[in-house]
Amino acid sequence: MLIDTGASKTVFDKKRISNFLKEEKFETHDKLSTGLETSNMKSHLVVIKKISIGTLEIKNYKSVVIDISHMNAAYSHMKQKPIEGVLGSDILKQHKAVVDYGKKTLRLH
């Protein structure tokens, strides 16, 4: 996951999350998503029963799912690993995130 303190909502890559959830569980979202270095794109909503980030567990999280293949193509071009999504300020704020850039750590409470 990429951490983006400027992203208002956490999003997951449609291709990656399809490995865990069937697409019929995806609810089409009426709004188009903007940002993430692209023009408007279709988004979907899905309820994820449990997200584990270290020792933190978030249950029944309603998430946005979009195609971020364009981002992963750019990461691949830079010889970086693909990302599964973007951890946004909704989770960061709710769980009082502390980012330590020196130690390259993230603490969630």
> In this structure, what CATH number is given to the domain that contains residue 26?
2.40.70.10
Whether this model's pTM surpasses 0.85: no
Q: Cα(72)–Cα(86) distance, rounded to whole angstroms?
A: 12
Take residue 19 and report the two structure tokens written for it: 């490995």
Measure Cα distances from 83 to 14, 15, 31, 67 in Å.
11, 11, 23, 11
Range 93-109 average pLDDT: 96
Q: Which residue has the higher pLDDT, 94 or 22?
A: 94
Range of the structural domain that residue 7 is part of: 2-107
Say if residue 61's pLDDT is above 70.
yes
Q: Domains in the chain: how many in total?
A: 1
Say if residue 37's pLDDT is above 80.
no
Give the neighbor-by-neighbor strand order of the sheet with 27-35.
Answer: 2-3, 85-87, 11-13, 56-66, 38-53, 27-35
pLDDT averaged over the chain? 87
pLDDT score recorded for residue 22: 72
42: enclosing H helix or E strand = strand 38-53
